[in-house]
Amino acid sequence: MTPEQLAAQLRCPSGDDGAQVADNMNQHNQPIIAASYQALTPSDGDHIVEIGPGTAGHLPDLLAMADDLHYTGLDLSQDMVAQAQQHHGHLERVHFVAGDLHDAPLPPNSADHVVAINVVYFWNPLLPALNAIRKLLRPGGQLCLGLRDRNSMATLPVFRHGFLTYNGPDLQQALKTAGFVDVRQQIIPEQSINVMGQVMHKTGLVITALNPEVKP
């Protein structure tokens, strides 16, 4: 695949190439996925919405964090939804739906937590996407964004095709502008082999924020 083709598959995986990209993402993104899930701190019975889960390869780790969790995976890719359902359809209280964040087929104020890992790059413009997430979250609900920082993504041609990158403080400020409160950042140092077979020293970021209890 060319860098442009790979970028398109990372945004919305499809077909055989998309399946391979999804498998690679499950493997190479493990540190940032684990750190993002740990930041959620769910309580028993909570409803978690994950945006762009792909095949949700690490879902069992998330479900083990509390009892009776309800999980919904929202993905742009019909192919990823079908594969995720094939892998995890036997699990109770787990659902996958195809759709766009801006027109999500989910009830407003229904999520205790929203998590999105390595997908914030595609939210252009950013503010409407953050507003859509606030609509999904209950008052006091938590958003968790997992991503690589701008410097970690600067060396590969694939990230020059439709990716918005962040250095951390800029994304924190955007969350505050969107009305989120208690915005916090955790830095995750990583060393891994990327989807193109190159060793990378990267900086992962996990940024959490709360939907205010009372709208300003």
Indicate the pLDDT class of residue 25, thresholds 50, 70 and 90.
low
Lowest mean pLDDT among 7-16, 45-54, 88-97: 7-16
| Res 7: pLDDT | 57
Tokens of 76: 């742009």
Sort strands 181-193 and 199-210 into parallel, antiparallel or unpaired.
antiparallel
- Whether the Cβ atoms of residue 58 and residue 33 lie closer than 8 Å to each other: yes
Average pLDDT over residues 64-80: 95
Running DSSP on this structure, what letter comes out for residue 111?
Answer: E
The three-class DSSP label of residue 197 is coil
- Whether the Cβ atoms of residue 68 and residue 45 lie closer than 8 Å to each other: yes
> Residue 196 pLDDT > 60, yes or no?
no
> Residue 39 pLDDT > 60, yes or no?
yes
Euclidean distance between CA atoms 42 and 177, whole angstroms: 25
The C-alpha torsion from 61 through 131 and 22 to 57, rounded to 10°, is 10
Does the reported pTM lie above 0.85?
Answer: yes
> Residue 4 pLDDT > 90, yes or no?
no
